Chains A and B, each alone.
Chain A
Amino acid sequence: VQTAPNDKLQRFIGKIRDLPTLPRTVLRITELINDPRSSARDLARVITEDQVLTARLLRLVNSAFYGFPQKVTTVTGAVVLLGFDAIRNLLLSTSVFDLFAGKNQTTRQFFETLWDHSLACAVSAKTIGDHLRQDKSEELFVAGLLHDIGKIVELIYLGSEFSIIVDSVQTQGKTFAQAEFDMLGCTHTDTGQLLARFWNLPVKLTHAIGFHHKPVAAGQWAREAAIVHLADIIAHAVNPTGEGCCLPRMGEAVQATLDLTVADIEPVMRAAADQFAALRQSIQPVDGNAR
């Protein structure tokens, strides 16, 4: 956004006068992420103050996705089992989606499709990270879950222009990014990065969101961006989002950046498909208006 300002984009940003703010609890969690002195106990205390987060965390930790043999009944128990990173990231990212869930009946279908795709991308990114023995694969999960957050911004703020973008993807065979660029002069990677910065999310995350279509431009975070880029493609493959939709183009440098071979693909995709099926049952956004 900062490197390529233009009139259309500036006009669109001007429209976004009322970007949604994160709930107070999530703000606290974001602060904890950025504070190296924060502890698991701090996190447990913040979570237990919020019934929705508490219920969600306990449902998650007891889900087939994690497959622990014994039932976990306390937040502290969940923190000990899953670890600080996993919990803070999961709660942050699912809460972000809560903000938008149930906003508008007419946009519900697009939102649900996007949620499904985002979850598939999150699981795929974590699976690729685990396969490549990447540190902190939980961060990749969050990056995957939030990679298309800019589309939600557009969905909410563009109105009829957004319908035109979706229509031109379906009827003219444009890529989503091309259709966005023709309409706005920017794409969801720009708007997503804008929102992530507005929320003061960690810089690694803002880069993964902003460069998931061109990872080589992400500088020191090129590897994370490349993983999200590949995860985006795999998510479309294991969970096709609809007719007229294509597998995104794979950047040439991805294979070299990640040192992946053809033999890596099937185990990664099988694991991603299994985990997506397991997780989808236990993690859903809640209606933001019901909070």
Chain B
Amino acid sequence: MIVTDLNALKPGMVLADSVFDLHHSLLLKAGVVLDERRIRLLKSWGAGRVAVRTADTDGTQVSTRSAPAPETSADAASDGKTVQGPLMDEIARVAALLAMEKHQRADSAQR
């Protein structure tokens, strides 16, 4: 897994981690193959950096969570789907942690 800038994303890359925004809304699911449209979407959501899988992964590089996107018009249109709060923050944190552990296990299994 590598963590990369949005500008370095290319069609065909596979997301290693699900990408959430600051309100814990899932933007793209881990395992999604990026295409031009999805890369455009990530940029329009304002995501900073995302984790992608690499063919020759060594499984040593770790990102605890995908880069959160700042609040955007897409969030404003979501009609308050999610609420802030310590429990929701913790659910999002553990979700990212579990996703990361899953990918680490998958990476080790491949080696």
Chain A's nearest CB lies how many Å from the CB of B81?
A: 4
Nearest A residue (CB) for B75? A173
Interface string of A236-261 (1 = CB under 8 A from B): 11101011111111101011000010
Contact check, A269 vs B87: say whether CB atoms are below 8 A apart: no
A247 contacts B32, C-beta separation under 8 Å: no
Residues of chain A at interface, number, CB under 8 A: 30
Cα(A230)–Cα(B81), bound, Å: 14
Task: Provide the bound-state CA to CA distance between A182 and B25, in Å.
Answer: 22
Instruction: List, in ascending order, chain A residues with CB within 8 A of B77's CB.
Output: 172-174
Q: Tell which of A172, A234, A252 touches B91, judged by Cβ atoms closer than 8 Å.
A: A234
Question: How far is A243 from B87 in the complex, measured between Cα atoms in Å?
Answer: 23
* B12 proximal to A (CB < 8 A): no
Assess whether B79 is interfacial by the CB under 8 Å rule.
yes
A152 at interface (Cβ–Cβ under 8 A)?
Answer: no
B74 CB to nearest A CB, Å: 6
Closest B residue to A247 by CB, please name it: B24
Tell me the complex Cα distance, A266–B93, Å.
9
Q: Specify which chain A residues have a CB less than 8 angstroms from the CB of B24 in the assembled complex.
A: 246-247
A181 to chain B, nearest CB (A): 11
User: Which B positions have Cβ atoms within 8 angstroms of A?
Assistant: 18, 23-30, 32, 38, 74, 77-83, 85-92, 94-95, 97-98
Residues of A within 8 A of B (CB): 172-175, 178, 233-234, 236-238, 240, 242-250, 252, 254-255, 260, 262, 265-266, 269-270, 273
24 residue pairs from A and B, CB less than 8 Å apart: A173-B74, A173-B79, A175-B79, A175-B81, A237-B92, A243-B26, A243-B32, A244-B27, A246-B23, A246-B25, A246-B26, A247-B81, A247-B82, A247-B91, A249-B82, A250-B82, A250-B83, A250-B87, A255-B87, A262-B87, A262-B90, A265-B87, A265-B90, A265-B91
